[in-house]
Amino acid sequence: MILGWILPVLVIAALIGLWQIAAADGAIAEALNIEPFLVPSPAEVGDALWNSRSLLLENAWVTLREILVGLGFGVLLGIALSVVMRFSWLVRDAFYPLAVALQAVPVVVIAPILVIWFGYGIWPKVIIVALACFFPVLVATLDGFRSVDPEAVKMMRTLDASRWATFRRVEAPTALPSFFSGAKIAVAVAPIVALFAELAGSNSGLMRLIVEDNNNFHEARVFAAAVVLAVIGVLLVGLTALAQRLVVTWR
Amino acid sequence: MSVVARGLSHAYGELRSLESIELEAQPGEVVALVGPSGCGKSTLLELACGLREPTAGTIAVEGSADAAGRLSHCAYMPQRDLLLPWFSALDNAALALRNRGAGRAEARSRAGELFERFGLAGFEGARPQELSGGMRQRVAFLRTLVAGKPVLALDEPFASLDAISRAEMQEWLAGALRADGRTVLLVSHDLEEALYLADRVLVLSARPGRLVKEVRAPDPRAADRDGAVTDPAFVAAREEALRALREGAHRGAAAPAVPYDSYMGIRNSSEGEEG
């Protein structure tokens, strides 16, 4: 357990150390044949993190809100659709192909359209994140429902269970682990999709900041923003895994 | 009569599983069904529980011949315990009460009384995966009892257990059935188990299952299993049943074999129907 934590931390520390030496020395810039100020060292990135902390936090909050609200809608939509499709094969057969088709249209294409329709605010981002997130949840949860033991359903019938009681006590718990697998994928893609959406048009947010800083050769802050995004990503995935451990206690 | 079957036949498409079964079970009687695998024993239980409809003939449980009526009078204990891993042993046992709309506290307290009586006290909060095979079967049996139906259909309740725990569980179940006094249909492939637990053993032939012989279990039997099964009357009854079982198996072999394809087709369609 302790070793499990120490090893990755050591690897990351070693990489940062190497990068510090190579960047301070100018070796990377030399190898890439560019100006040394374009290759910030970890220490400079740290400085940028600290000095621009309020700017970074402000924009991180914008992006995080897009991610969370979009995820919320997407996951709820995925759950609702999968439940309705479980109860009605008619709905499933009618709407599942549409869901697949919707998923097949790349986010990069939808994002600019939504910006034209809904403006520079949070909503085009929320819609895109939700669209990208409902699909993995829907597919995984439906898969989970498929793994319901027909014998258990039969047993519930002999124990006087209504359709709803069987769903609640057998089908839903059976599908929960699969649902979490889907939710983890959704959580992993949500930040990427939110950044794409910001790229298509926004007044604030981390992607907007990154583009601006990159244009101004402010590389240290670009890296700092990347660090903030990494932290957000790790936290989201970690929280989802934690929720799974708390809810799915029988595995 | 608690259970009455008249000319009861059932077929899965082309595949005949049961043919012209005549069966009567008195209230409180334990009737065992033995026969070669695939002879339709489990189908008979599913018919009794209203999970299937006969192709011909009738089956009535407590006077109800329709599927819904049979379902409401007959509780089914499947071969696998099918305990739900997300519920405690107590909540698993209380499932039927919860399904009928009882509150959690009430359902737990009513099922909890039986835990005491059936040697499961102290394991109320345990998850199924923390219990031994024998204890899981006990909880599954309690779940069936708690459903409160006059007829119990037990489908090879101890098939998954090792020999020693199976013998223990048979003693336990014999005691539980004596104490409870419900009508029981018990499917088994183990003659000793059938004769030890049941009042009467019906021997079925190979597919399609027909009644070959009825063997009365010696009465009275010793309560401890080892004593009961070594009793000369018991041994004689077992020999009689075994002979009938052998004959039935041969009779089945003489019947036209079912083509492999149609067997597969039936398997698939029955799976689809359940899913």
pLDDT in tens, A147-164: 999 999 999 999 999 999
Distance CA A145, CA A129 (A): 25
DSSP strand pairing (B211-216 vs B74-77): unpaired
Q: Which one has a higher pLDDT value, B228 or B257?
A: B228
B86, B100, B274 member nearest A150 (Cβ): B274
| Tokens matching residue A220 | 């240290």
pLDDT of residue B265 exceeding 70? no
pLDDT in tens, A173-214: 999 999 999 999 999 999 999 999 999 988 999 999 999 999
Range of the domain at A178: 40-247
What pLDDT does residue A125 have?
94
Distance CA B225, CA A25 (A): 85
| ipTM at complex level | 0.80
Distance CA A165, CA B188 (A): 31
pLDDT class of A2 with cuts at 50, 70, 90: low
| Tokens matching residue B205 | 């032939």
What pLDDT does residue B256 have?
45
Across the range A100-116, mean pLDDT stands at: 88
Which residues in chain A touch residue B80, judged by CB atoms under 8 angstroms apart? 151
The domain limits of chain B are: 3-81+161-274
- Give the whole-number percent of chain B exceeding pLDDT 70: 91
pLDDT class of B216 with cuts at 50, 70, 90: confident
Interface of B with A in 97-156 (CB under 8 A): 98-100, 127, 129, 143, 147
Both A179 and A229 in one domain: the answer is yes
B86, B96, B274 member nearest A159 (Cβ): B96
Beta bridge partners of B89: none
What pLDDT does residue A156 have?
93
Nearest-Cα distance to chain A for B90, in Å, is 14
Both A10 and A124 in one domain: the answer is no
Which among B214, B210, B205 has a CA at the least distance from the CA of B253? B205
Which residues in chain B touch residue A161, judged by CB atoms under 8 angstroms apart? 95, 99
Distance CA A192, CA A17 (A): 28
What is the overall mean pLDDT for chain B?
83
Q: Angle A231-A235-A238 (CA atoms, 0-180°, nearest 5)?
A: 140
Both A108 and A22 in one domain: the answer is no
Q: What is the pTM of this model?
A: 0.82
| Tokens matching residue A140 | 């995984």
Across the range B218-225, mean pLDDT stands at: 75
- The answer to whether the Cβ–Cβ distance between B274 and A156 falls below 8 Å is no
Q: Which one has a higher pLDDT value, A233 or B233?
A: A233
A149, A153, A250 member nearest B86 (Cβ): A250
Under 8 Å CB-to-CB from A189, ≥6 apart: which residues? A132, A133, A136
Both A58 and A169 in one domain: the answer is yes
What pLDDT does residue B251 have?
62
Both A192 and A241 in one domain: the answer is yes
Q: Count how many residues are written for chain A.
A: 251
Helix (H, G, I), strand (E, B) or coil at B149: coil
Cis peptide bond prior to B85, omega within 30° of 0: no
Nearest-Cα distance to chain A for B165, in Å, is 24
Ordered DSSP codes for A2-40 = HHHHHHHHHHHHHHHHHHHHHHHHTHHHHHHTS-GGGS-
Both A8 and A129 in one domain: the answer is no
Among the CATH numbers 3.40.50.300, 3.40.50.360, 3.20.20.70, 3.10.640.10, which is that of B3-81+161-274? Answer: 3.40.50.300
A158, A165, A249 member nearest B51 (Cβ): A158
What pLDDT does residue A16 have?
93
Which among B33, B30, B28 has a CA at the least distance from the CA of B46? B33
Distance CA B15, CA A150 (A): 22
Both A31 and A94 in one domain: the answer is no
Q: Which of A149, A156, A158 to mutate to test the interface with B (most CBs of B within 10 A)?
A: A158
Both A178 and A204 in one domain: the answer is yes
Which residues in chain B touch residue A244, judged by CB atoms under 8 angstroms apart? none
Both A115 and A201 in one domain: the answer is yes
Counting the structural domains of chain A, the total is 2
Interface of B with A in 1-40 (CB under 8 A): none
| Tokens matching residue B102 | 């009882």
What are the angstrom distances between the C-alpha of A136 and each of A28, A82, A159, B40, B187? 40, 11, 34, 43, 44
Cβ neighbours around B155 below 10 Å, total? 21
Q: Is B75 on the interface with A (CB under 8 A)?
A: yes
Q: Which of B81, B99, B141, B142 to mutate to test the interface with A (most CBs of A within 10 A)?
A: B99
pLDDT in tens, A73-91: 999 999 999 999 999 999 9
DSSP class of residue B209? B
What is the overall mean pLDDT for chain A?
92
What are the angstrom distances between the C-alpha of A80 and each of A77, A138, A141? 5, 8, 10
Best mean pLDDT range from A21-25, A105-109, A224-228, B14-18: A224-228
Interface contacts (A, B; CB < 8 Å): 61
Both A34 and A48 in one domain: the answer is no
Nearest-Cα distance to chain B for A159, in Å, is 5
Distance CA B142, CA A97 (A): 45
Quick check: B208 and B44 in contact, CB under 8 A?
Answer: no
| Tokens matching residue B213 | 């012989």
- The answer to whether the Cβ–Cβ distance between A150 and B275 falls below 8 Å is yes
Both A77 and A31 in one domain: the answer is no
Nearest-Cα distance to chain B for A171, in Å, is 11
Quick check: B23 and B4 in contact, CB under 8 A?
Answer: yes
- The answer to whether the Cβ–Cβ distance between B99 and A160 falls below 8 Å is yes
A210-230 in b/e form (b: 16+ CB < 10 A) is: beebeeeebbbbbbbbeebbe
pLDDT in tens, B15-72: 888 888 888 888 888 999 998 877 788 889 999 998 989 999 899 888 888 888 899 8
- The answer to whether the Cβ–Cβ distance between B51 and A154 falls below 8 Å is yes
Which among B79, B52, B137, B105 has a CA at the least distance from the CA of A157? B52
Distance CA A92, CA A82 (A): 8
Q: Which of B70, B81, B82 to mutate to test the interface with A (most CBs of A within 10 A)?
A: B82
Both A4 and A89 in one domain: the answer is no
Helix (H, G, I), strand (E, B) or coil at B179: helix
Q: Which one has a higher pLDDT value, B202 or B269?
A: B202
What are the angstrom distances between the C-alpha of B239 and each of B217, B223, B228, B236, B245? 12, 21, 15, 5, 10
pLDDT class of A1 with cuts at 50, 70, 90: low
